[in-house]
Amino acid sequence: MMATMIEVIINSSLLILMVIVLRRLLRGRISSRLQYALWTIVALRLLLPFSLFESPISVLNALPRQSGDWVTVVPTTIPDPSTPPAPFAPHTPADLSAIPDPLANSANGPAPAGIQTVQNSNTANTATTPAAAHKTNYTTMATYFWLGGILVSIGIFLTANIRLNRRLRLSRQQIHSTSCPLPVYVAEGLPSPCLYGLGKPSIYLTPASLAGEQRVTHVIAHELTHYRQGDHIWSLVRALCLCIHWFNPLVWLAVVLSRQDSELACDEGTLRQLGEENRLAYGKTLIEMMTVSPKPGDVFYCATTITGGKREITERIKRIAQQPRMLRTTVIGVLLIAVVAIAGTFSGADSEPATGEISSAEALWKDRTNYLGDNSAVGRLIGLLPVPEGLRYDHFKLHTGEQPYDIEIVYSVSSEVLKQYDTEETRQANPFRQNALILLALVDNAEGVRATLTDGQREVGFINGREWADYTVGEDVRNYAESPEKLQELMDFSFATGAATQVRTHIEGGTLVYDSPGIIIEDIEVKDAGNVKFFKGKAMLISDPKRVKAAVTQEIGTAGEKLSDMVNRSGAIAGINAGGVYDPNGEGNGAIPYGITVQNGEVVYNTTGDEAVDFVGLDAEGKLIIGTMKAAEIKEKNIQEGVGFSPPLYNMGTPLVREGELSLSGDGGWGIAPRTGIGQRADGTLILLVIDGRDPDWSIGATLRDMANVFLEYGAVEAVNLNGGSMVEMVYDGRVLNKVRNIFGERPIPTGFVVMP
């Protein structure tokens, strides 16, 4: 909303300046009514909350894109976008035919004019401070401040008119006049005769205006001209513009000048009715009824006036004496100028033809910066990058609350275009990865670049991390920022088909955090209508289920092991807690797993002998197997990795989804808590899910039904609940991604599911 409002401010302010200049240059050369009519264009632009069309002559095209971005600095905590290490191999050119039609071309998209809200401190790779963790969202503050000003202005407007209306009704006395089509009253305490009222306006005279029949005739004729011009309605329009744009001094000036021009136009119209022979007498009436200058608060009244201050009356008398005559060429010139002004200020910045070309390496290289917090430099870089066809650049956000820092570029799209981007084909083609490489090369401490597409209801996004970029080019991508020539090499870089990049879709507030080859990790956030139930968590999607293995504490039966240590020791890159644990009164050390534990096709621990236990595992083909079974059955099913729970049908190991359908009744019967689960899609993709809980300021937790619904949102055909509570944990690249609910940090556990490189 603020970006659109800023565009309106710029366009309307420039239009006001144009009218003021035109009004000054053509004073005495055009009719007062035409001069007054020019303000109609200004009023329409002030009240129109958007641009009508794009135009090559829009004034927004003249503004520097780099300084015109609406920048939001967002304190956020996101994991480090990373890719598992792999040897660099030469890349072959990408198959460009794989890119769908909406992505075939690109253009330097327009950057709407705006204001940079925050200048972040130029400190790279430093520890997060309390101030950094609580940065103010200046966009929201500005919005609320503006809306608050509107409410105050409306309050002043209503108060002023209610008081005036009450005063007039209490003091007025009707004058019966058969020649006037409007009711005429005389009222005490008015500084000037006026026309007041919207639906049924009336003419109000002062006692001084009754001094002579000729004066009464002039005053009534003047107010009737106001009525024919609709000035009682335009007074409301002016007040509305002022309430909305209360902060803009040019709007205040426009209101004052348009009121003056309404009187000039009314004088001209009145003299047409009275006849040329009454010109001098009418001017004498204005002089005799001259009052003090209007007060600033008078602009809020929905009333016209015949008189004004000395300066205003002097201008009106001069105009009456001059009797300006317009040349036809002058009128045509004014109309042409008005058309150009409309084309330039009622339009948005023009989208350049889609050429797919990036700005020159020299221009990009000049704006390189060591710091993500350098809003101006980052904005200029983004302004130089191409925008795919069908997208409109909206604004960018700087996520600087905690390392790693990243840049988010937001694009506005139609719902139809958004659907075209939300496909597997687009996921592989990712038209934003070239831009990501350039930004990660030129913004030294940026760790990721996001591209978010939104139609206002749903989002689709792409992200690329620094380690992805380094892996893609085979070296530190920042090396390409050494010179314009080196940067040109990066701009000419060709991607291998299937480069590591993924797309996100909206799932109850879920947003992509980062990705690596074959892995997507997303944020999950769910709230009900009253915010009574809310929870947050993480979902990890692994495209190849054979990469997931069971991990067992190194000292099974003696001591448990932290999940992060378990992942590191196994040579894995990610993991979640898994099976049940013998944990009397919550004081166990995680040494003993409940039920049956299988690793590499062998039973490595069995606490139940020949009894059946709830069990979840993966067979040799990577298929998720869920059920209550004995050790012999597990062997028969060729299960290679798995964990068990005891006793059977306890909430751990409870099937949540079977054959794509919900397998629970009610909420599952085990209340709200932190939870971990594993599921699988029909295509084999494994879904590892953790949900935080027991923290009313962050996430209260989820029922089994809640978890099942999340799995269904992700397309699971099979899903099961794993061990929960204070042991809920997800690790990636040596980092714990969720909020562990244990004051001592990670709890030792006996088993986990880990993801191998």
- How high is the pLDDT of residue 663? 86
515 pLDDT band, cuts 50/70/90, is: very low
* Helix 328-345 × helix 2-25 angle, to 10°: 170
- How high is the pLDDT of residue 306? 64
Burial class for 114, CB neighbours closer than 10 Å (0-12, 13-18, 19+): buried
130 pLDDT band, cuts 50/70/90, is: very low
Could you give the count of Cα atoms lying within 13 Å of 339 in the half-sphere of its Cβ?
Answer: 6
- How high is the pLDDT of residue 530? 61
- How high is the pLDDT of residue 134? 37
Mean pLDDT, rounded, for 576-587: 76
Mean pLDDT, rounded, for 136-156: 83
Proportion of the chain above pLDDT 70, given as a percent: 78
Number of residues assigned to the chain: 757
Mean pLDDT is lowest, of 48-62, 463-477, 664-678, for 48-62
Residue 642 to residue 470: CA distance in whole angstroms: 35
CA-to-CA dists, residue 402 to 73, 83, 118, 162, angstroms: 12, 20, 16, 53
- How high is the pLDDT of residue 646? 56
CA 351 to chain centroid? 21
Mean pLDDT is lowest, of 341-345, 392-396, 493-497, 732-736, for 493-497
Q: Is the whole-model pTM more than 0.75?
A: no
Per DSSP, 134 falls in state T
- How high is the pLDDT of residue 83? 36
- How high is the pLDDT of residue 674? 92
CA-to-CA dists, residue 125 to 213, 371, 468, 697, angstroms: 84, 9, 19, 28
- How high is the pLDDT of residue 603? 93
The first and second tokens of residue 130, run together, are: 């309390």
Higher confidence at residue 364 or residue 667?
364
Evaluate if residue 192 carries a pLDDT over 90.
Answer: no
- How high is the pLDDT of residue 688? 96
Could you give the count of Cα atoms lying within 13 Å of 693 in the half-sphere of its Cβ?
Answer: 20
Mean pLDDT is lowest, of 150-159, 343-352, 709-718, for 343-352
Proportion of the chain above pLDDT 90, given as a percent: 29
pLDDT tens-place string over residues 67-76: 333 444 444 3
pLDDT tens-place string over residues 413-470: 888 888 888 876 676 667 888 899 999 999 998 988 988 998 888 888 887 888 778 8
* Helix 310-322 × helix 279-288 angle, to 10°: 180
307 pLDDT band, cuts 50/70/90, is: low
Pairing of strands 184-186, 202-205: parallel
Higher confidence at residue 381 or residue 102?
381
Q: Which residue has the tokens 């004019």?
A: 113
pLDDT tens-place string over residues 8-24: 888 889 999 999 998 88
pLDDT tens-place string over residues 588-623: 688 888 889 999 999 999 988 888 888 999 999 999
- How high is the pLDDT of residue 42? 92
- How high is the pLDDT of residue 753? 95
478 pLDDT band, cuts 50/70/90, is: very high
Mean pLDDT is lowest, of 86-100, 215-229, 491-505, for 86-100
- How high is the pLDDT of residue 333? 85
Mean pLDDT is lowest, of 181-185, 196-200, 539-543, for 196-200
CA 705 to chain centroid? 31
Mean pLDDT is lowest, of 141-155, 401-415, 508-522, 737-751, for 508-522
Mean pLDDT is lowest, of 32-46, 48-62, 97-111, for 97-111
Mean pLDDT, rounded, for 248-261: 92
312 pLDDT band, cuts 50/70/90, is: confident
Q: For residue 177, what are the contacts with CB-CB under 8 A and spacing of at least 6?
A: 184, 220
Residue 607 to residue 594: CA distance in whole angstroms: 6
Q: For residue 129, what are the contacts with CB-CB under 8 A and spacing of at least 6?
A: none
127 pLDDT band, cuts 50/70/90, is: very low
Mean pLDDT is lowest, of 42-56, 116-130, 369-383, 645-659, for 116-130
The dihedrals phi and psi of 386, each to the nearest 5 degrees, come to: -75, 155
Nearest CA to 434 out of 384, 373, 509 is that of 384
Q: Which residue has the tokens 């902060």?
A: 247
Evaluate if residue 64 carries a pLDDT over 80.
Answer: no
Higher confidence at residue 63 or residue 90?
63
108 pLDDT band, cuts 50/70/90, is: very low
The first and second tokens of residue 45, run together, are: 């632009």
Mean pLDDT is lowest, of 252-261, 295-304, 378-387, for 295-304
- How high is the pLDDT of residue 427? 63
- How high is the pLDDT of residue 350? 58
Three-state SS across 540-598?
EEECCHHHEEEEECCECCCECECHHHHHHHHCCCEEEECCCECCHHHCCCCCCECCEEE
Higher confidence at residue 402 or residue 461?
461
- How high is the pLDDT of residue 495? 60
- How high is the pLDDT of residue 731? 93
Evaluate if residue 648 carries a pLDDT over 60.
Answer: no
473 pLDDT band, cuts 50/70/90, is: confident
Residue 37 to residue 46: CA distance in whole angstroms: 15
Which run of H or E residues covers position 272?
helix 249-274
153 pLDDT band, cuts 50/70/90, is: very high
- How high is the pLDDT of residue 122? 29
pLDDT tens-place string over residues 666-696: 888 778 899 999 999 999 999 999 999 988 8
Most confident of 261-270, 327-336, 487-496: 261-270
308 pLDDT band, cuts 50/70/90, is: low
- For residues 576 and 688, the answer to whether their CB atoms sit within 8 Å is yes
- For residues 227 and 280, the answer to whether their CB atoms sit within 8 Å is no
151 pLDDT band, cuts 50/70/90, is: very high
